[in-house]
Amino acid sequence: MDITEFRKRGKEMVDYVADYLETIEQRQVYPDVEPGYLRSLIPEEAPDEPEAYEDVIQDIERVIMPGVTHWHSPFFFAYFPTASSFPAMLADMLCGAIGCIGFSWAASPACTELETVMLDWLGKMLRLPKDFLAGTEGQGGGVIQGTASEATLVALLAARSRIVKQIQAHDPQRSEVEIISKLVAYSSDQAHSSVERAGLIGGVRMKKMSTDGKFAVCGETFRKTLEEDKASGLIPFYVSSPHPLPHHSAAPEGTVRAQGMWMHIDAAYAGSAFICPEFRPLLDGVEFADSFNFNPHKWLLVNFDCSTMWVKRRADIIGAFKMDPLYLKHDHQESGLVTDYRHWQIPLGRRFRSLKLWFVFRMYGLRGLQAYIRKHVGLAKEFERLVRNDERFEICADVVLGLVCFRLKGSNELNELLLRRINGARRVHLVPCQLAGAFVLRFAVCSRTTESRHAQEAWRHISELASELLRGQKR
């Protein structure tokens, strides 16, 4: 394909993409295919000779679309939102064309510098404490990770490296391996599975703290566990706290600070909402954290992948990874103004992802982004009202942002059956969760194009399926 054909095919692709998104509501949100469907639709080997572009494009509808779960359908209420917007898609096209690998400042200065400044912009939108911003002289700063799992892992590794150095400074005889074997990290039993995985990868003990009725870790329990662990020779070093932070009189953050532990806050989904003053109080306590991350690729209109992470002391994060082979050294390396992002992350390579942030921030403006968050929260509240008006159902957790956890009053089996019918009908797509032993349905407002009429239609449909189910049960 030469450049002339690319101009033609690229424009056709823009139209295909626009058509797809314009008519996505008419596609079945969840596919009908059975496992293994695709292999039989295409050859067993790559072709020897080039094929015609038309043949490739025709296969999108023949091979791919029948097996796609349409995450951007307004009837997709499963898992969590994944962001999509036109400005972000345009920025991604540019990112692909520049195609630089920004592992160091010199490898592409614009790639590194725009990222640092965009993370400052976003930090200010969130009213993060100044410690987390890079500015021109700050000790902290932000970085784009691929996913929240990576941010959580990087924070844990930075914490591990810091505690090892601290202990060895007092006691140079202790080996790193021996110290690591005594470390213990804590999370809440409501934390994402990625926290447990981070512990697994980092080879450290991970303890899940039980939570109260509001799903917050109790300060008293936490303090007791810490004391017991220390008494048995373990070294508490890391707490990963999902948002919101617990606000008890015996708040865990006080304990964490007193112990010199690393506190990481992962607000993967909720973080985007904190650009609205009315939701910002949910982030109170971030001033006690060493690191914080959330995913603009979930709810801030920036296409995957883009998980933004800030640290108060960049030296902590760099210390965990820094290695400098000669072929990656460059002249400006020792300047305080220079960031080599490869020391901030697991991979070496990285794309020019800050372009997406820049395009989205400028094309929406802060007010446009706030309006988007508020619209989604409004849709969740609207759905909550519909559920509450139906006596057969119950709401299972406070509806704070864009997620409604609900269920039929009755057994777990009944709710499992209802969910099976909902997803079997293919008109809307939902997934379950477990809350205090109960099987619960999650209604997550996900798509940029979800409007009131979609939420209303989804509820009508769910409520009809519930009626059918309950009639069947009576018989």
- Touching its own copies, residues 386-405 (CB under 8 A): none
> Strand order of the sheet with strand 393-395?
393-395, 403-408, 438-444, 431-435
Q: Residue 316's CB: how many other CB atoms inside 10 A?
A: 20
Which is nearer to its own copies, 36 or 249 (by Cβ)?
36
Using CB under 8 A, which of the segments 61-69, 214-222, 255-263, 452-460 binds its own copies?
61-69
Contact predicate 128/382, CB 8 Å: no
Name the minimum Å distance from CB 219 to its own copies: 26
Task: Output Rg (C-alpha) for the chain, integer angstroms.
Answer: 24
For residue 474, the minimal CB distance to its own copies (Å) is: 27
Please select the residue that binds its own copies; options are 27, 28, 79, 280, rule is CB under 8 A: 79
Nearer to its own copies, 320 or 387 (CB): 320
Residue closer to its own copies by CB (options 253, 340) is 340
Contacts 24+ apart (CB under 8 A), 126-129: 126/271, 126/274, 126/275, 126/280, 126/283, 127/274, 127/280, 128/286, 128/292, 128/310, 129/286, 129/287
Please give the order of strands across the beta sheet that includes 141-145. Answer: 141-145, 307-311, 291-294, 262-266, 235-242, 183-188, 205-209
Cβ 406 vs Cβ 7: under 8 Å: no
Q: Tell me the per-residue interface mask from 150 to 189 with its own copies, x by CB under 8 A, - otherwise.
A: x--x---x--x----------------xx-xx--------
Min dist CB 419 to its own copies, Å, is: 11
Nearest distance from C-beta of residue 421 to its own copies, angstroms: 13
Name the one range near its own copies by CB under 8 A: 217-225, 236-244, 321-329, 386-394. Answer: 321-329
Per the rule left: phi > 0, alpha: psi between -120 and 50, beta: everything else, 260 is left
For its own copies, the closer CB: 208 or 248 = 208
Tell me the C-alpha to C-alpha distance, in Å, between residue 93 and each of 7, 84, 89, 274.
13, 14, 6, 29
Dig out the tokens for 382 from the structure. Answer: 């609207």
Binding positions for its own copies, 128-147, rule CB under 8 A: 136, 146-147
Report, in Å, the least distance between residue 248 CB and its own copies: 26
- Helix or strand run (H / E) with residue 175: none
Work out which of 25, 196, 382, 394 binds its own copies, going by CB under 8 A: 196
**Does the footprint of its own copies cover residue 92 (CB under 8 A)?**
yes
Minimum distance of its own copies from residue 75's CB (angstroms)? 15
**Residue with smaller CB distance to its own copies, 5 or 287:** 5
Q: What pairing do the DSSP bridges indicate for beta strands 393-395 and 431-435? A: unpaired
Identified binder of its own copies from the candidate list 74, 75, 77, 111, rule CB under 8 A:
111
Judged by CB under 8 A, the stretch of 206-214, 245-253, 359-367, 378-386 that binds its own copies is 359-367
- Examine residue 64 and tell whether it contacts its own copies (CB under 8 A): yes
Does 86 engage in binding with its own copies (CB under 8 A)? yes
CB of 251 to its own copies, least distance (A): 27
Instruction: Output the six-digit token pair for 180.
Output: 């690591």
Give DSSP secondary structure letters for 335-395.
-TT---GGGGSSSS----THHHHHHHHHHHHHHHHHHHHHHHHHHHHHHHHHHHT-TTEEE
Q: Does 235 bind its own copies (CB under 8 A)?
A: no
Q: Which of 304, 372, 443, 459 binds its own copies (CB under 8 A)?
A: 304
Residue 381 as a binder of its own copies (CB under 8 A): the answer is no
Helix pair 109-125, 354-388: axis angle to 10 deg: 30
> Which member of 37, 61, 220, 228 binds its own copies (CB under 8 A)?
37
